[in-house]
Structure 1
Amino acid sequence: MIRLIGILAGLFFSVAVLWAFGNGAVATIGQGYLKEKTAESEFHLHPRELNLQSDGPFGTWDLAQLQRGFQVYKEVCAACHSLKYVAFRDLSALGYSEAEVKAIAAGFQVPGIDPNTGEANTRPGLPTDYFPSPYPNAVAARAANNNAVPPDLSLMTKARHDGAAYVHSLLTGYRNLDTFSIDGKHVKDEFPEFTTPEGGHFNPYFANLNIAMPPPLTAAGQVTYAEGQPKPTVDQMAKDVSAFLAWTAEPKKVKRTQVGWPVLGFLLFATILAWLAKNQVWAAIKPKKPRAA
């Protein structure tokens, strides 16, 4: 009797699980077919491919590119975006000397406290400080950016699908809404009601196609690179700052992979040794034959 009850209970739960799975699958498929087409679903573009030296399991940092990317961030992006999880002293990993790090830190004003009065003030940064926000609070940030708070960029390439490729595509992806088309289909022809709000900008790589941030990189030579470096075109500057943000999001990536491969090799070698030792230890022991019934 107990066995029968157990079998029936098992069948009940199995049917319930299958019903829930089937119902969810049907609902999902139905939504996919019945979902109303929108400008966002039809004209949102996937990020373009971006190949960086740090990509892949054997990637390494291109320190020259990271320094160029930091220069772009400092001269262009830092006016609106912070790097609150990056300390100035971390820049030494990019090849900057101790004196250069101190000079870079001193070029930023960070929140401080007046030791005489105890009042809040600002002071030149120290290597131990973190990159400050350009705004005192979110209210000020919204007031200066068309009611949008510029996000912190420290982990941006980890927070967005396709990471550095997304950042690069976004920075170079601003388009004219009136003329933009895909496969001969124009946005305004397919969706006449779609508009860019006042103060907004059309960018097909952004999720809802409209972004509050104006194009930050607008012309070649906007940032002056050192002699011997690539020409600072808009595309090159976007690549460099994307590589830099890939580093800020995961500064230990290259070191981790460099340590990981020897560890995997050691584990494989140890596994082979353990298997050979097992065969050696048990070689002289023959399994007993089962007795005949």
Structure 2
Amino acid sequence: MFKKLTITALTALTLGAGGAWAAEGGHVTDYKFSFEGPFGKYDQAQLQRGLQIYTQICSVCHGLKFVPLRSLSEPGGPSLSDDAMRAYAETFEVFDPELDDYRTAKPTDHFPEGTYPGAPDLSLMAKGRAGFHGPLGTGISQFFKGMGGPEYITSYLLAFTDETKEEAGTLYYQNPVFSTGWSAMPPQLFGDDVEYADGTEATMEQEAKDIAAFLMWTAEPKLMARKEAGVISVLFLGVLTVLLYLTNKRLWAPYKPKKQI
């Protein structure tokens, strides 16, 4: 009975994962990122390059309304200096309800929302796009294979073809990774779109991976802290298990019959 239930459960998980994958679109490449695995960490230089891509390309249409500007200088993220973070914040204008007008952004403000109608906010994009792995977004493929939102974003940005079509006055661009195969957003990365401050060569793949890593950080800014807490918890539970075992063995030793030789 137990064997049948196990086989049934594994079959359901496999079919569910396949269906979710098919519903999301085409093939997603498993790119490697520094923050994968229980001991992975964000690459500070990569996050800074991703911030540069977002600022110069993505922010024209998309916003990051859930990300406070001050987090750019916090540990575990891009780690800009306090002065650089404040100078960066001043490049934005935000609407102040008290003034009923726009003013220069402060570190306590969040990134502005997107300005292009219909352009999704990118704050939680990396987490939102992890839902196609496993049945009902359980993240099984992400857990076992390291596949998730950053891989989807990178694959999506690199999958555009030269084909276009027009429907109801809107131009669509072919992208096999997108759920419908056609994206309203045109290709954004072409290689050498930016001149990286750290001298890294700005190839299309490098740019796509950098912005994907940055968007992962915007969705999970406390990822490193959670991993550290998880590792400490596992170690603590391991030590506690050993202590409980030894305690149990000592308490019950007088009442257990000795083995006959």
TM tier, shorter chain? 0.7 to 0.9
Report the Cα distance in structure 2 between the residues aligned to 1:248 and 1:81, rounded to whole angstroms.
Answer: 13
TM-score (norm 2): 0.77
Report the Cα distance in structure 1 between the residues aligned to 2:242 and 2:114, rounded to whole angstroms.
Answer: 56
Q: 1:194-246 CA distances to partner (integer Å, 9 max, x unpaired)?
A: x553411111110001111111113x22111114x320112111110000001
Report the Cα distance in structure 2 between the residues aligned to 1:125 and 1:217, rounded to whole angstroms.
Answer: 28
State the match for 2:80 in structure 1.
96
Q: 1:286–1:50: structure 2 CA closer, same or farther, 3 Å change rule?
A: closer
1:69-88 pair list within 5 angstroms: 69-88=50-69
Q: 1:173-201 CA distances to partner (integer Å, 9 max, x unpaired)?
A: 111338xxxxxxxxxxxxxxxx5534111
* 2:178 pairs with one of 196, 200, 206: 206
State the match for 1:184 in structure 2.
none
1:226-265 pair list within 5 angstroms: 226-227=197-198, 229-265=199-235
* 1:217 pairs with one of 180, 185, 189: 189
Shift of 1:155: 0.7
DSSP 3-state at the match of 1:82: coil
| Structure 2 letter corresponding to 1:261 | V
* 2:126 pairs with one of 145, 157, 160: 157
State the match for 1:129 in structure 2.
109
State the match for 1:53 in structure 2.
34
Q: 1:16-72 CA distances to partner (integer Å, 9 max, x unpaired)?
A: xxxxx9xxx9xx9xxx9xxxxxxxx79x42211111000111101100000000110
On the 8 A contact 1:164/1:246 being kept in 2, the answer is yes
Query: Greater CA deviation, 106-115 or 53-62?
Result: 106-115
Report the Cα distance in structure 2 between the residues aligned to 1:282 and 1:71, rounded to whole angstroms.
Answer: 64
Q: 1:122-173 CA distances to partner (integer Å, 9 max, x unpaired)?
A: 11100000011132xxxxx43xxxxxx1111111011013300111111111
Shift of 1:114: 6.2
State the match for 1:173 in structure 2.
159
TM-score (norm 1): 0.69
Report the Cα distance in structure 2 between the residues aligned to 1:58 and 1:196, rounded to whole angstroms.
Answer: 46
Shift of 1:113: 4.2
Whichever of the two has the greater Rg, that structure is: 1
Report the Cα distance in structure 2 between the residues aligned to 1:281 and 1:169, rounded to whole angstroms.
Answer: 58
Matched, 1:268 2:238: yes
DSSP 3-state at the match of 2:73: helix
Q: Which runs of 5+ in 2 are unaligned?
A: 1-7, 131-147
| Structure 1 letter corresponding to 2:107 | P
Report the Cα distance in structure 2 between the residues aligned to 1:67 and 1:284, rounded to whole angstroms.
Answer: 63
Report the Cα distance in structure 2 between the residues aligned to 1:125 and 1:258, rounded to whole angstroms.
Answer: 33
Q: 1:230-276 CA distances to partner (integer Å, 9 max, x unpaired)?
A: 20112111110000001111111122112211221111111111111
